[in-house]
Structure 1
């Protein structure tokens, strides 16, 4: 079972208190995008074995969205952070790198 900390209200709870919202840090395309760009946004999601950055909502609490870095194999949560950020905080990146040597994350924009 996952234990997550909501960075918005500070509540620590089991995953049943939260609702998963898919991959974090997706690049969204506006009305002028091509069909291929829109297709990739909708359907080409990462589903890694290992470290994954995800969106979560505190469904049974404050109701706000936040982001979490976790390992899909070990179920370890490296940290949670605000949904308004464009990339994970450096402390979470450092924690991931310490636990999973050689892991690299994509460039966020």
Structure 2
């Protein structure tokens, strides 16, 4: 038998959390992750392990998106910049969802 959800609404001050910067976070009681722990870490998406590295894909993008990234990529190349932007989006969205 499942228990009913007991919390009516979050009491977290999300506006304050959203306004926080990294320097505002108190890490006092959070132990640091060791290099050995990171070596044993397994990246999972949807519970399934993801192999490290990159995969080649063919992708159709709107012309203005490609032009934007080509204009802003500099020496790293526009494909690398698109990859970085997508990775940051996923990490930020995932963190926000875990906090809420």
* Both proteins in one fold, TM over 0.5: no
Between structures 1 and 2, the one with greater strand share: 1
- Tell me which structure has the larger Cα radius of gyration: 2
Taking structure 1 as the reference length, the TM-score comes to 0.23
Question: Which has the larger share of helix?
Answer: 2
